[in-house]
Amino acid sequence: MQPPTPPQWSLLRRAFQIGMVAGLRSQTPLPLVGNALRQADGGERRPAPLAFLMRPAVTTGLALSAVGEMVGDKLPAVPNRLSPLPLGGRLVFGALAAAALALAANHPRGPAALAGGLGAGVGSVAGTRYRAALPALTGLPDLPWALVEDAAAVVLGLNAARGIERRAGPTA
């Protein structure tokens, strides 16, 4: 097996980043990737999973789910993200979003999905520790720190997804 080339390292970094987003907000990576794909689309046909993710109704539904998660995250009855079921979902969403990035870049999906799953695990642990430590350190309530976490997830996800290259449209 050959070592990864610089473009593959860039993809693995972005896959890890989009996975971290899933660790912070599980519903956020897929609509960001779908929207970036739509913006980068130049009319060329994409593989079926990406074409589905690019549909406006799908991206809108996923975005509404992400907003709902951001609102619901502030409620006291939300389960711990490190509990088995929420953590498993975050790992899956991170791997799926990372695999979509790889598919869009014509790179192998397996290593990207692994990087995305790893990123989701890291993001889950980091987000949990961050949300426990900062209110205690600053004396501020949890809400402002939860909003900062929302913003960090979106910015990190936009950065990871923006690497999707514009595809050339069909030539006449």
At 166 the pLDDT is 59
pLDDT in tens, 43-77: 567 888 899 999 999 999 999 999 999 999 999 88
At 76 the pLDDT is 87
pLDDT in tens, 87-122: 999 999 999 999 999 999 989 999 999 999 999 999
Angle between helix axes 29-40 and 56-72 (nearest 10 degrees) is 150
At 163 the pLDDT is 78
pLDDT in tens, 124-167: 999 999 999 999 999 999 999 999 999 999 999 999 998 786 55
Q: Where are the domains of the chain?
A: 6-161
Tokens read off for 156: 């990190």
What confidence tier does 171 reach under pLDDT thresholds 50, 70, 90? Answer: very low
Q: What does pTM read for this prediction?
A: 0.90
56 near 156, Cβ under 8 Å? Answer: no
pLDDT in tens, 9-50: 899 999 999 999 999 999 999 999 999 998 887 656 788 889
The better pLDDT of the pair 158, 2 is held by 158
Task: Quickly count helices (H) and strands (E) in the chain.
Answer: 7, 0
Query: Over 50: is that where the pLDDT of 170 sits?
Result: no
C-alpha to C-alpha distance for 77 and 134, rounded to whole angstroms = 20
At 122 the pLDDT is 98
Residue range 2-14: mean pLDDT, rounded: 82
At 41 the pLDDT is 76
Residue 83 gets which letter from DSSP?
Answer: S
